[in-house]
Amino acid sequence: MGIALEPVGTLTRHAQPDKGEAEERKGYSDDQEDEDGDAHSETLHGMLRTVARNYINLEHVQVAFSHKAVLDDVSLGLNEADRIGIVGRNGGGKSTLLRVLSGASVDSGRVTHAGGLRVGMLAQVGDPAPGVTIRMRVIGDRLDHEWAADGKTRDVLTGLLGGFEDAVLDRELTSLSGGELRRVELAHLLIDGCDVLLLDEPTNHLDLEAVAWLARHLKGLRNTALAVVTHDRWFLDEVTDRTWEVIRGQIEEYDGGYSAYVLAKAERSRQDATMEARRANLLRKELAWLRRGPPARTTKPKFRIDAANTLIATEPPARNDVELVNFASARLGRTVMDAQDVSVTLGERELIHRLTWSVGPGDRVGILGPNGAGKTTLIRMLLGDQRVDSGKLVIGKTVKPAYLSQHLDELNPNLRVLEAVQEIAEFVDLGKGREMSASTLCERLGFDAGSQWTPVGDLSGGERRRLQLTRLLMAGPNVLILDEPTNDFDVETLAALEDLLDGFAGTILIVSHDRYFIERVCETYRAVLGDGDVRDLPGGVDEYLALRSAALSGGRGTPTKAQAPEEFKVPALSAAERREVNKQVASLERKMNTAQEKVAAIHQLMHEHATDHDALRADGAALRKAEAKLAEIEMEWYAALELLN
């Protein structure tokens, strides 16, 4: 899919603040930072935001497609220096919200922009105009000596395009891939100096280094307002301090980045569950009374009927979470894959040089590396699809691999969803005499009975990716090899996928630029840096980024392992030990949930016994005991986490 390449637009609707006000605010910022230094920069940033200029307002906005409200009576504001992460299910309205913020028309309501506002939007649609070069799009008509003297321009060109040589800048946009086009458009927006940046999946097609660079750059744009839609949860934590969740046409706001959003949402869910339990009890009482018939109703006040009808009317919709199930895996032997002094050459280039590496049952390995370094070749070799030029490669006899590739074109567009899954198998074995039909598995992965008859060619990118995963699981593998598995998934599906992988008993190899995902799932890491070596990374992603930075700054070659930062330590736990500790952590988390529910229940009892002093004393004793038990479990949980870290 291409990228919209229209010039950044401006909308003049509200007057700007007067010059004196702007200078006063700027002076305060400069003076305070000079006086207190960087240690207070975040506090200052928060103080300024409380008096920040309002950039965009939405008032009672309604947007519908095919009579379905995507945004329903939405009112919100975007201010100077705001850092907003937008999350929600695919197709739920996230991109629509970005377009509305940029000035797109709405069905009803009002959208206002501050006067002279410069809004830049990284979109997901459109094609480049013929004859336009990277230089024309990114630099415009600026003379070479002008932009070359601008550190910001050089930084953007290096961070996103790899440099500013003529060979790079004079390429025509029509010759670029979709990923390269996104980088060019992003570079254009960052250099253009917008007041508001609206970014739709900005990390797509970026490698780990580019994502880290983009996060640093955006954090340096102190007065620019940012609203970003992305499935990259590490990126959300790095660059955002507020979260908007688009859910059933509404916007629910949370303070903090992604991690804070998850914690706050969990707390809201806990509180809602308590209230819902009380409401459900009342609902059952009222419904039971209504069913007693007219004679009983004549003895009750009318408000009882009204109350019951209100409860029925406000019954919340059934949850429609994407559910993934754990599959029994065919038994793995002691050897999964074993490479001894293996080399692979393509053309004149040696992609893998004398690799010795053993992958065992239950290993969870993250494979990192820049594009073109040889990660795909390594995967093909481990699958047995790539001939080795020297050395010995042994793949275990019991290995039943499944490979989730980046490419969607392997799916037959003429098949329907269910047919595409049944093409693999009619049923999948769940172990212990249980099995699951293809239709049921489709439902568990978000394809309801109606959508199972949708032609594959009509699916969105995320739906096609989900279908790939369904087909892969239908084969009942014991080794999963996932190549960029997070592409086109929303954060809810990613969390569900991570939950599935937590319970997967086999071996997992993952290639991904999604730092949050790979750190969440993997226990060990290997780097393919393009020099032929496949390096062990005891320090994980941080060590990889340090190696890449050293390699780029040092010119040719890559640093040795001795050059890695001292803080990277070899994990004390083996893969088997880590699995046991992970199980312990999961068990303790379940116990914590139970203990927290008990504490909450006692608090509720104390509220109900507010006028009963004897009952309150008993409740207080029970509360102290329950809180002590919760604290004990929490200490065990912290200790287990320390082992993992």
CB 536 within 8 A of CB 526: yes
Report pLDDT for 464. Answer: 86
In this prediction, residue 244 has a pLDDT band, given cuts at 50, 70 and 90, of very high
Greatest distance between any 2 Cα atoms in the chain: 93
CB 181 within 8 A of CB 3: yes
Q: Which residues contact 278 (CB under 8 A, 6 or more apart)?
A: none
The amino acid occupying position 219 is K
Say what the pTM is: 0.67
Domain extent listing, the chain = 9-13+80-104+117-256, 271-313, 337-571, 577-644
644 has pLDDT over 70 = no
CB 538 within 8 A of CB 363: no
Q: Which residues contact 560 (CB under 8 A, 6 or more apart)?
A: none
CB 320 within 8 A of CB 441: no
pLDDT, tens only, 72-97: 999 999 999 999 999 998 888 999 99
CA-atom Rg of the chain in angstroms: 28
Give the helix/strand (H/E) hosting 395: strand 390-395
Q: What percent of the chain has pLDDT over 90?
A: 36
Residue 403, φ and ψ in degrees, nearest 5: -120, 115
pLDDT, tens only, 95-106: 999 999 999 999
Q: Which CATH superfamily is domain 337-571 in?
A: P-loop containing nucleotide triphosphate hydrolases (3.40.50.300)
Same fold, 9-13+80-104+117-256 and 337-571: yes
The amino acid occupying position 562 is A
Give the helix/strand (H/E) hosting 77: strand 68-79
- Residue 320 and residue 374: Cα distance in Å, rounded? 40
- Residue 203 and residue 517: Cα distance in Å, rounded? 14
Q: Which residues is 84 bridged to in the sheet?
A: 227, 242
Report pLDDT for 126. Answer: 64
**To which residue do tokens 């917008």 refer?**
194
CATH of domain 577-644: 1.20.58
pLDDT, tens only, 413-431: 899 999 999 999 998 776 6
Give the helix/strand (H/E) hosting 213: helix 208-219
CATH of domain 9-13+80-104+117-256: 3.40.50.300
pLDDT, tens only, 255-266: 999 988 888 887
Q: What is the DSSP letter of 14?
A: B
494 has pLDDT over 70 = yes
Q: Which residues is 512 bridged to in the sheet?
A: none
Q: Which two tokens stand for residue 485?
A: 């598995």
- Residue 137 and residue 192: Cα distance in Å, rounded? 10
Q: DSSP readout, 620-633?
A: HHHHHHHHHHHHHH
129-153 average pLDDT score: 89
Residue scoring higher pLDDT (128 or 52): 128
CB 220 within 8 A of CB 227: no
On average, the pLDDT of the chain sits at 79
- In angstroms, the Cα distances linking 368 to 97, 472, 549, 619 are 34, 23, 14, 54
Three-state DSSP class for 579?
helix
107 has pLDDT over 80 = yes
- Residue 162 and residue 206: Cα distance in Å, rounded? 12
38 has pLDDT over 90 = no
**To which residue do tokens 């992609």 refer?**
351
